[in-house]
Every structure is written in structure tokens, then in C-alpha cells.
Amino acid sequence: MGVCQRGALLALTFALVLAISVNGQDSNTTLVPAIITFGDSAVDVGNNDYIPTLFKANYPPYGRDFVSQKPTGRFCNGKLATDITAESLGFTTYAPAYLSPQASGKNLLIGANFASAAAGYDDKTAYLSHAIPLSQQLQYYKEYQGKLAKVAGSSKAASIIKDSIYILSAGSSDFLQNYYVNPLINKVYSPDQYGSMLVSTFSSFVKDLYGLGARKIGVTSLPPLGCLPAAITLFGFHQSGCVSRINTDAQGFNKKINSAASNLQKQLPDLKIVVFDIFKPLYDLVRSPSDNGFAEARRGCCGTGTVETTSFLCNPHSIGTCSNATQYVFWDSVHPSEAANQVLADALIIQGLALI
């Protein structure tokens, strides 16, 4: 970690200590009142457990390194990057999956998670996998606002809505599970054109969220999609490194979403929006795993060892699931391990200081 990064983390730690000293140990000691999350499997904490889809992570070995050592619906061996970020902001518990029984009463005061694995900016991506499309996630958020007002009172609920951090993670499923494998789309649109369509939806979503009271929004960039083990297996044709054309598409999309975010901030008064760059930190891990304490970056800890993919091919009967996931950049063939998520979370918290 560089000097600037350490300085930023020290500043964040100081702010949290100050919040504790001012508010007292028995009061709310978080730097923001709540975290509200939308998107895909990178941030899903269990909503897909409650819908009829193949994309679930509610069975071992998912969750084996989580605090409870049980599967939680997270597509990871342990914590997601957003879990670690929440802890950095002072939260001792995580905002619940909205469809779970835990999403009720006072639990709603710290936010809610509406994300659904296999969802994307393109609602058709979610429909293909029977996931919860982003448009429906927004409808659930409207429901949440009503429930929050009943629990907290309208005045406090409005304050929570305004001061919360909103996280949005999408786009990976649109490309990997829809565009690249769907000739109905990839024969009609170039990756650049499809990316522009997705970014248009992103802009509309942010405007809708803003209209519902959100003022602090963090959106993740696309990761280096061409470096994911599943992408290398399916599209790499046995080449030794990442699939460069897919990474190029991801970088093109990231430029578009950065530009769109900049325009939105100019258009919408009081909006703070940050695009979290997760491409570079994850790409650095893949290119130089040993420099960061990892031993394996080309295949997931959990998978079949042949045609690697995620979810239903990572299960209790998976061939060769590794014993120590801290050595692996990827947990399954798409999702980072908790150890890699720690690296991503460090980047998220530094880049997101403007939202706090």
C-alpha cells in the first residue's frame, strides 16, 4: 500500500474514532447512517436464495470462511468487498438482503441490499437467468422507503435516505452472460454500441434514484472481464493470458460510465457520484499475484477443473476445491476470494472518501 493510500485510511480511521468520541459508545458510530445496494452477484448477499433461479450461493462451500462458516447467499468463501467497506465505515452488522426475513423492523435502519446475482443494466440479462432486474430492484427500494418511514418516522427516514451511501454494481453479467453468448445481440450491436445502451440505462437509473432522494452514489466499474477464469476458459481458446479483446471492451465501457457520471453530477444539484475503479486493482492482482501474497490467479479455488463457471458448478462435490482460499485471487471462476475482496475494499474506501 502506498503512502497516499495509508494516509487516506488513517484519515478514515481518525474520522471514525472522532464519530465514536462525539456520539458515545452506545450511539450510532457509523460514518453514514445506512448503505443501500443494487446490482449483481458481486454485491448480492442472499436475495437469490428467495427466487427460482440457478444462480444461488446458499450451499457449501460458499461461505465456508464467513464468520458463521455457513453459506449466506454471497458468491464468495467469505466477505464481499462491500462487507469489508461497511466495516470500515463502522458498521458491525450488514444491511440485510431485502427478500430475507431479516429485512424488517430496526434492521432496516442500516439500509437494505436489493442486488441479485445475474442481473445487469439490461433487464433482459436478468430475465434470461430468472434474476431480479434492476427495474424491479428499484421498485423494491420504493417499498423499502415506506417500511423505513414506519420504523423510523418520516423525518428520520428522510434523513437516512439523504445521507446514506448507495452502491451500484452491474454490467459484468450483461457482457459475459448475455452479449458474448447471445447472437441476437452480438450480431446486431458492436460491444461499443451495447455498452452505450447499458450506460444510457445507468444514467436513467441514477436519475430515478436521485428523484427518490439519493445524493451519494458509488458505482463500480467493470472488472477486467477478460481475466476471469470463466472468460479465459470460454473465450480464450487456451491462450496463456487474459482475453485482451474482452478487457478492451470493459475499458471502453468504463470510459463511458465515467463520462456519464461526470455529466450526471453536473446536471443534478447536490449529487455526489463516484465511479469506483476495480479494473486496475484486480488486473494488478491477476498480473502479479505473488507481489500481493497470492499464488494462483488463473483458476478459482472452487470449480470443476474443466469448464469452470460459477454457482452450480461450485458445490460440495466440486473437484479439487482448494484448502486455503487466501492463496487464490478467485474463489470460483467469476468471483474474487475474500482475500482479493480485501484488496478491492481498500481501493473502494479510498476512492469513496468524497461520499463520506
Confidence tier at 109 by pLDDT (50, 70, 90): very high
Number of domains in the chain: 1
**CATH, residue 79:** 3.40.50.1110
Q: How far apart are CA 78 and CA 72, in angstroms?
A: 9
Q: Does residue 107 sit in helix, strand or coil?
A: helix
Closest CA to 278 of 218, 353, 236, 232: 218
Closest CA to 120 of 202, 242, 20: 202
Domain presence at residue 28: no
Cell of 37: 445496494
Which tops the pLDDT comparison, 318 or 242?
242
CB 144 within 8 A of CB 187: no
Cell of 130: 430468472
CB count within 10 Å of CB 6 equals 11
pLDDT surpasses 90 at 309: no
Q: How far apart are CA 305 and CA 123, in angstroms?
A: 31
Cell of 170: 452491474
- Average pLDDT in the chain: 91
Is pTM beyond 0.85? Reply is: yes
pLDDT surpasses 60 at 2: no
Strand ordering across the sheet containing 35-39: 111-113, 35-39, 165-169, 216-220, 272-276
Residues catalogued as catalytic: 41, 332, 335
Domain presence at residue 14: no
Domain presence at residue 13: no
Q: How far apart are CA 140 and CA 133, in angstroms?
A: 11
Domain presence at residue 23: no
Find the domain containing 160 and state its range.
33-355
